[in-house]
Structure 1
Amino acid sequence: MTRHLRIPVADTVLDAEDTGGPGRPVIYLNGAYAGRRHWRPVTAELGTEFRHITYDARARGKSERSEDYSFEAMLTDIDAVLEATGVERPLLVGWSYGATLAAYWAERNPGRAAGVVCVDGAMPFGLTGEEGRERIRKTFHGMRWLLPLVRPLGLAAKMTAAQHADVNIDVNEKGAAIAPVLERVTCPLRFVLATGGNLGGGEEEMEAGRASLEPVLAQNPNLAVSAKVPSNHSQILRRDFRAIADAVREVAGADARRNPSGR
Structure 2
Amino acid sequence: MLPVEDTALAVTDTGGTGIPVVYLNGSYASQKHWKQVIADLGPGYRHISYDERARGKSKRSADYSFEATVRDLDAVLKARGVERPLLVGWSYGALLGVHWGDRNPDRVAGVVGVDGPFPMGWTDAAGHERIRKLFRRARFVLPLIAPLGLAARMSADQHAEINIEGHMLHAALVPILEGLTVPVRYVVASGDHTGDAGGEMDQARTTIEPLLVRNPNLTVSARVTSNHEKILAKDSPAVAGAVRELAAALGREVG
**TM > 0.5:** yes
Structure 1 residue 253 displacement after superposition: 1.3
- For structure 1, the residue ranges without an aligned partner over 5 or more in a row are 1-5
Secondary structure of 1:82's counterpart equals helix
- How many Å separate the matches in 1 of 2:198 and 2:36? 25
Match of 1:215 in 2: 210
Match of 1:199 in 2: 194
- What letter is aligned with 1:199? T
Q: Any residues of structure 2 matched to 1:65-214 within 5 Å, and which? A: 65-202=60-197, 204-214=199-209
- How many Å separate the matches in 1 of 2:127 and 2:5? 30
Residue identity (%): 56
- How many Å separate the matches in 1 of 2:204 and 2:17? 38
CA RMSD of aligned residues (A): 0.9
Match of 1:241 in 2: 236
Of residues 18, 21, 34, the one that matches 2:13 is 18
Secondary structure of 1:8's counterpart equals strand
Distance 1:162 1:82, change over 3 A: same
- How many Å separate the matches in 2 of 1:101 and 1:186? 16
> What are the superposed Cα offsets for residues 110-135 of structure 1, whole Å, 9 maximum, x if unpaired?
11110100001110011112111111
Of residues 8, 28, 32, the one that matches 2:27 is 32
- What letter is aligned with 1:51? R
Matched, 1:53 2:42: no
- For structure 2, the residue ranges without an aligned partner over 5 or more in a row are none
Of residues 58, 61, 64, the one that matches 2:59 is 64
- What letter is aligned with 1:193? V
Structure 1 residue 101 displacement after superposition: 0.4
> What are the superposed Cα offsets for residues 194-229 of structure 1, whole Å, 9 maximum, x if unpaired?
001100112511100000111111111010111110
CA contact (8 A) 2:152 2:159 kept: yes
Structure 1 residue 149 displacement after superposition: 1.1
Match of 1:3 in 2: none
- How many Å separate the matches in 2 of 1:196 and 1:29? 22
Secondary structure of 1:48's counterpart equals coil
- What letter is aligned with 1:221? P
Match of 1:9 in 2: 4
Distance 1:153 1:186, change over 3 A: same
CA contact (8 A) 1:12 1:64 kept: yes
- How many Å separate the matches in 1 of 2:104 and 2:16? 25
- How many Å separate the matches in 1 of 2:125 and 2:242? 37
Distance 1:22 1:231, change over 3 A: same
- What letter is aligned with 2:70? L
Q: TM-score, normalised by structure 2?
A: 0.98
Moved over 3 A (4+): 260-263
- How many Å separate the matches in 1 of 2:153 and 2:253? 43
Secondary structure of 2:151's counterpart equals coil
Would you say how many aligned residue pairs link Structure 1 and Structure 2?
255
- What letter is aligned with 1:237? L
- What letter is aligned with 1:239? K
Structure 1 residue 185 displacement after superposition: 1.4
Q: Which range is displaced more, 84-93 or 119-128?
A: 119-128
- How many Å separate the matches in 1 of 2:254 and 2:16? 16
- What letter is aligned with 1:181? I
